[in-house]
Amino acid sequence: MIERTLVLLKPDAVQREIMGKIISRFEDAGLKIVGVKMVWADTAFARKHYDEIGEVGKRRGEKVLQHMLKVLSSGPVLALCIEGVNAVENVRKMAGATEPKAAPPGTIRGDFSHTSFAHADQLNKGVENVIHASGSIDDATKEISLWFSSKELHNYKTVHEAHVF
């Protein structure tokens, strides 16, 4: 099943200059980048993003939402639309657990981030966990349409597709 998913390389990934390393992992796995752009999301846009993925503030608390908004709007974000077989599930596996200390080595968060929810709480700040990846096909559809116009998404063939089709 060919799917599209949204990936955001958050401001900490941009500032640490690890974007290329992360993108290479997706390409090495045979996933295709069909949209990419750098955006500096303001707090209002960040709120729209989190509203699209199930009213985060209601599920995780207003304080956590405020921290997440601050992290996402603290600098430029590299937004990617990634396409491939079971892209949503596969990208989530590659990203690793949302709490970096729980992400196994070999995952993006496991290799590039190590903080914990408790540490962030102690500092009264959001968890900088390098990457956002859509949690479901429905979330991906909503998020992609928020971050990209249809003109910004492209269809093309890669050499990997010869092995998939």
Active site residues: 132
9: left (phi over 0), alpha (psi -120 to 50) or beta: beta
DSSP 86-117: THHHHHHHHH--SSGGGSPBTBHHHHH----H
CA–CA distance, 45 with 72 (Å, rounded to integer): 9
